[in-house]
Structure 1
Amino acid sequence: MTMSRRRFVAGAAGIGTGVALAGCLGVLTGDEALRFEAQAAVVPPSVRDSEGYEEHETTKPEVTREFSAAGQTREVTVQNVVAQYDRGVDIPVAGRARAAVFTVLSTPQVKILGKTFNPVKDMSTDEIVDMVQQRYERVQNVRRADSRTVSILGTETEAVRYTADATLAAGASVEVYLTVTEVVADADDFVLCFAAYPRSLDERETVTALANGVRHGD
């Protein structure tokens, strides 16, 4: 399922990339570190095994931006961690595919001189899912459905569920649910979770269990 693994997950990786540091002269003059790395946030084997999910891959995408101020130009590199899990499901017409996907994104807060510069801090779930829809044409007609409270890393937060239409690699269209959690701060990172699965599945409790089981920096 192209949307679920390659495109939707890639959208998750790109969310924590826009870091606005132009006004921070400490960075630009070399008085502060110019590289920020997130610690991995993952679903432990005991949790994912009990829910029937397998680890697909964990990646560490990096984004480098150049900022200028007061005649100084410096590069700032941010390394995110994206942990991806999935399970196989049967989809009408398309057959069996690993189309139930759960992803955890950890992105550095980017703290400089006591201030946080990662814009994900203030993004709503509506803004996050809208970004996914704008970037990836195979996800269309996203509509907010409902929400529930989950506990991520000891913090209660909202998990908002959306309906959408997704196009499979074979060209078939499937109605899906997308779930996006609000951002949680833990240590020096921000953590949020994403899920995508066909609407024919009763996967909501599973997604809640996976989100509640996330561990960070172990």
Structure 2
Amino acid sequence: MKRRAVLAGASSALLLGGCTDLLSGDEVTFEADTAVVPDQVQSETDYQEQRVEDMTIERDYDQVDRTVVVINRLAEYSNEVEIGPIGGELARFTVLSTPKVEVGPVGPLNPVNDMSEKELAQKLQQEYGSVQNVQEVDERDVSMLGETVSVTKFSAEAETQGGQNVDVFLHIGKVEHEDDIVLAIGVHPQRLEEQENVDTLMGGVEHPVSTGSDASENGTNDNSSA
């Protein structure tokens, strides 16, 4: 009987953090539009939707009486694969839409604004314990949301939820679209030829989309305090 394992999502380490600029007032809210991979593209790549949900972060500041609320939109997809005795949803693709956070003259507060793909990978390595030894491999251009996006490929060591160690490739690209920053992250075992699928998924991303009640049906809101 094959052991089954799932690589956990990689998006939570990329959310709002490290902002200490002076603000004034009570509360300000920034909300991203949803970015998804349509059904047809999922079918082409054998990936299936796992969740589409909000990820809300509230951050208070000691210097002033103000709370910044950032509502991110997360969509995650996976492909069930097998490598030797390990099977499960080991190939994953995540799209995170996060708003361009700016408050008056303070300027941008969301660190994703100015982070390169390498910095995103390094942040992932620092804050997500099951991904280690992230090393840049190469770069390539991929079309996403009408733009030519530089996608950086990294090698890394990952641990599945079942405790199995797997050498993986990470593919990270980002693009500014409308009033949001859209990040696309593909993760898969190095023994699998998944890069073409990752490029297809990136190329198929749609933003903004209106999910309405679908978002609550496909995922549960996650309200986190940072």
Contact 2:13 2:127 in 1 (8 A): no
1:141 to 133, 136, 140: 133
Contact 1:140 1:164 in 2 (8 A): yes
Moved more, 163-172 or 121-130: 163-172
Shift of 1:76: 1.1
Shift of 1:19: 6.4
Shift of 1:118: 1.6
Q: Which residue of 2 aligns with 1:60?
A: 54
Deviations 1:167-209 (A, max 9, x none): 223333211111111x311111110100110111111111001
Q: Which residue of 2 aligns with 1:17?
A: 16
Distance 1:165-1:21 versus aligned 2 partners, 3 A rule: closer
Cα-Cα RMSD: 1.8
Q: Distance in 2 between matches of 1:76 and 1:178?
A: 31
Q: Distance in 2 between matches of 1:172 and 1:14?
A: 21
Q: Distance in 2 between matches of 1:50 and 1:108?
A: 29
What secondary structure does 1:117 align onto? coil
Shift of 1:74: 1.0
Q: Which residue of 2 aligns with 1:217?
A: 208
**Superposed, which structure 2 residues align to 1:95-174 within 5 Å?**
96-113=87-104, 115-174=107-166
Q: Does 1:43 align with 2:37?
A: yes
Q: Percent identity?
A: 34
Q: Distance in 2 between matches of 1:111 and 1:131?
A: 22
Aligned pair count reads 204
TM-score (norm 1): 0.86
Q: Distance in 1 between matches of 2:78 and 2:123?
A: 22
Opposite residue 25 of structure 2, the aligned amino acid is T
Q: Distance in 2 between matches of 1:120 and 1:138?
A: 21
Deviations 1:57-104 (A, max 9, x none): 0121111111254xx41111101111000011012122x211110000
Q: Distance in 1 between matches of 2:13 and 2:130?
A: 17
What secondary structure does 1:169 align onto? coil
Unpaired stretches in structure 2, ≥5 consecutive residues: 210-226
Moved more, 15-24 or 191-200: 15-24
Q: Distance in 1 between matches of 2:158 and 2:45?
A: 24
Moved more, 81-90 or 128-137: 128-137
Q: Distance in 2 between matches of 1:108 and 1:14?
A: 16
Opposite residue 133 of structure 2, the aligned amino acid is N
Q: Which residue of 2 aligns with 1:77?
A: 69
1:202 to 162, 180, 193: 193
Opposite residue 15 of structure 2, the aligned amino acid is G
Q: Distance in 2 between matches of 1:54 and 1:83?
A: 11
Shift of 1:22: 2.4
Unpaired stretches in structure 1, ≥5 consecutive residues: none
1:179 to 166, 171, 174: 171
Q: Distance in 1 between matches of 2:187 and 2:70?
A: 26
Q: Which has the higher contact order (CA 8 A, sep 6+)?
A: 2
Q: Distance in 2 between matches of 1:15 and 1:168?
A: 19
Q: Which residue of 1 aligns with 2:83?
A: 91
Moved more, 166-175 or 75-84: 166-175
What secondary structure does 1:73 align onto? coil
Q: Distance in 2 between matches of 1:178 and 1:191?
A: 16
TM-score (norm 2): 0.84
Q: Does 1:34 align with 2:25?
A: no
Q: Which residue of 1 aligns with 2:216?
A: none
